[in-house]
């Protein structure tokens, strides 16, 4: 099994059971403990690699959305496209994104915290550009908009994880709730 | 120190550092490890008591909001009051609420899961009543509304925890984002 496939399966196991041991992870992936240990020196090493993978995905989402250039352009149509693309990518990656950001261990790995700060800065710059372009409300801080998106992604991940929602239609639920709120108009 | 005070301080330590050991918790509370161990047989015992305390607070929030009776009344004004009170109480308790719901261990204590299900059912009944009374949008499931609230509370808790927001104005940020969304009108 390739490392990327192993990591994907390990995320699935850990999403269902955050405290899963290396033995449990190996068993649920369907490989021997020895094989898992040959790939990852320790549980910490596995978690660090998962954190790096999640950061890679997050960065890729910002790239796919053309976040930096769109934000710098000041062009409302371009910024709006970037925001929608970013949300779509985030929902697709909610498992990893949510896992990485809420996991106990990863928050405490300094190099990951630094990367997370930089990615947050880029995301927040796009959100601030969305405010300046008249797309997003300006009566709340751009940094809170970023937290709100994070919160809805955690909600989406856990709703799927607890079996309350399927993946179908999830992007629409997250996007519409986030953009329009839950009040009836 | 009374047990309730001890538990409150332990939540604060664990919110800052989810993986804190009993030794770390004792040290940061400012008591000896022996004293902590006299109160709680094990870390699992402490976490279980924290989970029960969080469930008590959650239940109290529903009681203060008069959620069951308001939902059953079908009276829009009464339901709206209940919804606003509930959100206010939830934001005030976001530390505990978020901690209890995202902590690894607590999800795996069967008796807490059962209580959490029952409290979720009561909350969702009020949200469904809000939909029927024309207050909340009906194009998303009531269960998703409940998850959205949870997501915004996790966002609020973590925004405070990471030092991005103060507690002042937090209730307004959470409520307005949740109800009205982040799009500019």
ipTM for the whole complex: 0.89
Say yes or no: A108 contacts chain B, CB-CB below 8 A: yes
**Which pLDDT does position A160 carry in this prediction?**
86
Beta-carbon contacts of A22 under 8 Å, excluding residues fewer than 6 positions away, are A33, A36, A37, A40, A42, A43, A46
**A104 to B104: CB separation less than 8 angstroms, yes or no:** yes
CB A131 within 8 A of CB A137: yes
Say yes or no: A176 contacts chain B, CB-CB below 8 A: yes
Element (H, E) at B11: helix B3-16
pLDDT band at B72 (very low <50, low <70, confident <90, very high): very high
Three-state secondary structure call for residue B136 = strand
Residues of chain A contacting residue B173, judged by C-beta atoms under 8 Å apart: 140, 144
Q: Does domain A50-180 have CATH number 3.40.50?
A: no
**Mean pLDDT value of segment A32-38:** 94
**Mean pLDDT value of segment B44-61:** 88
Domain ranges in chain B? 1-40, 51-180
Say yes or no: B21 contacts chain A, CB-CB below 8 A: no
CB A116 within 8 A of CB A55: yes
The end-to-end CA distance of chain A, in Å, is 51
Q: Which class in CATH covers the domain with range B51-180?
A: mainly alpha
Q: What is the DSSP letter of A164?
A: S
Residue A140 to residue A39: CA distance in whole angstroms: 45
- Interface probe for A, chosen from B79, B148, B172 (most Cβ of A below 10 Å), is B148
Say yes or no: B170 contacts chain A, CB-CB below 8 A: no
pLDDT band at B112 (very low <50, low <70, confident <90, very high): confident
Say yes or no: B177 contacts chain A, CB-CB below 8 A: yes
CB A6 within 8 A of CB A29: yes
**What are the DSSP calls for B12-71, one per residue?**
HHHHH-TT--HHHHHHHHTS-HHHHHHH-SSHHHHHHHHHHHHHHHHHHHHHHTTHHHHH
**Mean pLDDT value of segment A5-19:** 83
Q: Which residue of B has its CA nearest to A14?
A: B104
CB A128 within 8 A of CB A144: no
Residue B137 to residue A55: CA distance in whole angstroms: 34
| Matching residue, tokens 């890679």 | A56
**Is the pLDDT at A84 greater than 60, yes or no?**
yes
Say yes or no: B179 contacts chain A, CB-CB below 8 A: yes
CB B52 within 8 A of CB B116: no
**Of the ranges A55-64, A135-144, B23-32, B108-117, which one carries the lowest mean pLDDT score?**
B108-117
**Mean pLDDT value of segment B122-133:** 98
When CB atoms are compared, the residue of A139, A145, A184 closest to B138 is A184
**A140 to B102: CB separation less than 8 angstroms, yes or no:** no
Beta-carbon contacts of B15 under 8 Å, excluding residues fewer than 6 positions away, are B95, B98, B99, B157, B161
pLDDT band at A97 (very low <50, low <70, confident <90, very high): low
**What are the DSSP calls for A5-57, one per residue?**
HHHHHHHHHHHH-TT--HHHHHHHHTS-HHHHHHH-SSHHHHHHHHHHHHHHH
**Which pLDDT does position A103 carry in this prediction?**
52
**Is the pLDDT at B133 greater than 90, yes or no?**
yes
Chain A, 77-96: which have a CB under 8 Å from a chain B CB? Answer: none
CB B96 within 8 A of CB B52: no
Rounded to the nearest 10 degrees, how much is the dihedral formed by the CA atoms of A43, A49, A52, A57? Answer: -110
Arithmetic mean of pLDDT over chain A: 89
Query: CA angle, corner B151, sides to B22 and B122, nearest 5?
Result: 90
CA atoms within 13 A on the CB side of B165: 24
Q: Which residue of A has its CA nearest to B183?
A: A136
Say yes or no: A158 contacts chain B, CB-CB below 8 A: yes
């Amino acid at each position: 099994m390739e490392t990327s496939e192993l990591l994907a399966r390990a995320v699935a196991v850990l999403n269902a059971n955050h405290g899963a041991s290396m033995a449990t992870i190996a068993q649920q992936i369907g490989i021997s403990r020895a094989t898992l240990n040959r790939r990852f020196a320790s549980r910490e090493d596995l978690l660090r690699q998962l954190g790096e993978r999640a950061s890679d995905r997050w960065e890729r989402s910002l790239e796919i959305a053309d976040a930096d250039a769109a934000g710098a352009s000041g062009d409302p149509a371009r910024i709006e496209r970037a925001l929608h693309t970013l949300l779509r990518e985030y929902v697709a990656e909610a498992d990893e994104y949510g896992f990485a950001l809420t996991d106990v261990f990863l928050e405490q790995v300094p190099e990951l915290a630094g990367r997370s700060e930089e990615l947050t800065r880029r995301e927040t710059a796009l959100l601030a550009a969305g405010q300046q372009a008249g797309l997003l409300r300006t009566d709340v801080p751009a940094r809170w908009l970023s937290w709100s998106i994070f919160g809805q992604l955690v909600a989406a991940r856990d709703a799927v994880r607890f079996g309350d929602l399927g993946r179908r239609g999830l992007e629409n639920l997250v996007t519409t709730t986030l953009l329009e709120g839950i009040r009836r108009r």
